[in-house]
A and B are shown apart, each in its own frame.
Chain A
Amino acid sequence: MNVFAHIGRVFLKFLEETGRLAVFTLDAVTDTIRPPVYWSLILRQMMRIGYFSLPVVGLTAFFTGGVLALQIYNGASRYGAETFVPVVVLVGITRELGPVIAGLMVAGRVAAAIAAEIGTMRVTEQIDALTTLATNPVKYLVVPRLVAAVISMPILVAIADSIGVFGGYVASTQALGFNGPIYLNNTMNGVTYDDVSSGLIKAAVFGFIIALMGCYNGFHSKGGAQGVGAATTNAVVSASILVLAANYILTSVIFSHG
């Protein structure tokens, strides 16, 4: 009896939350299209979301590319297929690891920061104050972050792709004895338009998810410091999970035609 009541409550809570998120997303998207556009706020958010994420994303991409080369070499050498290392590193980085690693790093860094900032504004009534100053809070706070994340993430991932491939190159030439020019030549011959573009499309979707989760959780935080803390945690956890789930869906959609 009690168990069913509990399951029912959890299910209702889930439906309520889903509905609220859907309405919030719809509001945010329609407000993006409606003028005015706050260009200076978008630029400032691009600095915070994109530019300041470069060091951490670059470093993780570098080491990921390196370790990828080491492991692929390990597997490929069992079949005498070492010459495939450059192209497999390239495919792995551009299609999957570049966007996913960048997505997870930015989810941790940016979703948390957004949720904490907007959550604090919520509990100190700054969001209500925006309303009384004839400013739409969704337009002023959410839209610039969403737009900035959707623009910044593909740029960030393009850079992460290059650094990741470079990491593979460094590991292959320094630790595995590959010839530098030949490695680069194999990489450049192997790269296709789809490899890179699929990763960049993913990146834009991840950017949307990350900013949306940060804003949504911050916007609906309640209580004091504890509420903001919970909102921050929820933002990071939900953004990370949704990035990974979206990655699977996007991969199966993008590559379903061969």
Chain B
Amino acid sequence: MAEISIPKVELKGVKKRFGAKVVLDGLDLTLGRGESLVVIGGSGTGKSVMIKCVLGILKPDAGQVFVDGKEVTHLRGRARDEMLKKFSMLFQGAALFDSLTVWENVAFGLIQGRGMGRARARDIAVEKLAKVGLGAEVAQLSPAELSGGMQKRVGLARAIAADPEIIFFDEPTTGLDPIMADVINDLIVDTVRDVGCSALSITHDMVSARKISNRIAMLYRGKIIWQGPTADIDHTGNPYVDQFIHGRAEGPIKMEVRK
């Protein structure tokens, strides 16, 4: 039973600054097992930096990151490679490798990361593409031949290809039309349920946040200022959250304009 109480990912007092600009200022956040958590917040509030600190792409200046109860903040080499195998990520711009075909992209983590044979990896890739609603005829194309929505779907197929335990979604609906955004939202909900993984998403699209999450946290000035179940988001009593979810220019959050 103790297993269940250990969160998948935990950040404790994580701080990160670039030069004089403090981006994360003692961030505390936990992602539970099988949970879908969405972190909302304005542009430039450090949402992407938070994810990169978990993955070790950026090293926090202070604080700790735990994955499955083990500290991973300063892991290097092989131990870090092993830790990263639990993760996958859907990038904002899909970040597909343009020198490879669609199926090679989807199978990349299987072939390079896990040493699977190409023929078998290809079968799995086609199967994952079908899961995101793409036919086998797409597999041979190059990513540049696809529309933005299709690239996102291929990115999603790549993210779920190696059956990760934790998936990060970075602005999954940004730059898509409302219908395609909803399709992607549905796919995220379905795949997270099917794969049975934990999901951490960052977004400023409230429609998407409500749909894909069962818990929401709001990041402001490098700290979590509110978190709670998605159902409570409309009556938080927190003026910052209220201003954000209703998209008002007036309120306690002032847009930082350079003088």
Binding site for B on A (CB under 8 A): 36, 121, 124-126, 128-129, 131-136, 140
Q: In the complex the two chains form, is B95's CB within 8 Å of A134's CB?
A: no
- B108 near A124 with CB under 8 A, answer no
Residues of B within 8 A of A124 (CB): 93, 95
Task: Determine the distance from Cα of A128 to Cα of B159 in the docked complex, in whole angstroms.
Answer: 13
Question: Contact: B112 with A133, CB < 8 Å?
Answer: yes
Task: Report Cα–Cα, A125/B48, bound state, in Å.
Answer: 12
Q: Which chain A positions have C-beta within 8 A of B57? A: 128, 131
Does B120 have its Cβ within 8 Å of any Cβ on chain A?
no
Interface size class of B (residues with CB under 8 A): 20 to 34
State in angstroms the CA–CA spacing of A36 and B159 once bound together.
23
B88-126 CB mask vs A (1 if < 8 Å, else 0) is: 110111011110000000001100111100000000000
| Chain B residues within 8 Å of A135, by CB | 108-109, 112-113
Give chain A residues whose Cβ lies under 8 Å from the Cβ of B168.
Answer: 132
A120 (CB) vs chain B CBs: closest residue: B98
Instruction: List chain A residues, Cβ under 8 A from B244.
Output: none
Q: Is the CB of A136 within 8 A of B81?
A: yes
Q: Is the CB of A132 within 8 A of B89?
A: yes
What residue of chain A has the Cβ atom nearest to residue B109's Cβ? A133
Given contacts A134-B162, A135-B108, contact A129 B81 (CB under 8 A): no
* CB-defined A-B contacts under 8 Å, sample of 19: A124-B95, A125-B91, A125-B95, A126-B95, A126-B96, A126-B97, A126-B98, A128-B52, A128-B57, A128-B89, A128-B95, A129-B97, A131-B56, A131-B84, A132-B55, A132-B87, A133-B109, A133-B158, A134-B113
Please determine whether A140 and B91 come into contact, CB atoms closer than 8 angstroms: no
* Residues from chain B with Cβ under 8 Å of A126 in the complex: 95-98
- Does B85 interact with chain A (Cβ within 8 Å)? yes
- Shortest distance in angstroms between B171's beta carbon and chain A's nearest beta carbon? 11
| Nearest-neighbor residue (CB-CB) of A140 within chain B | B112
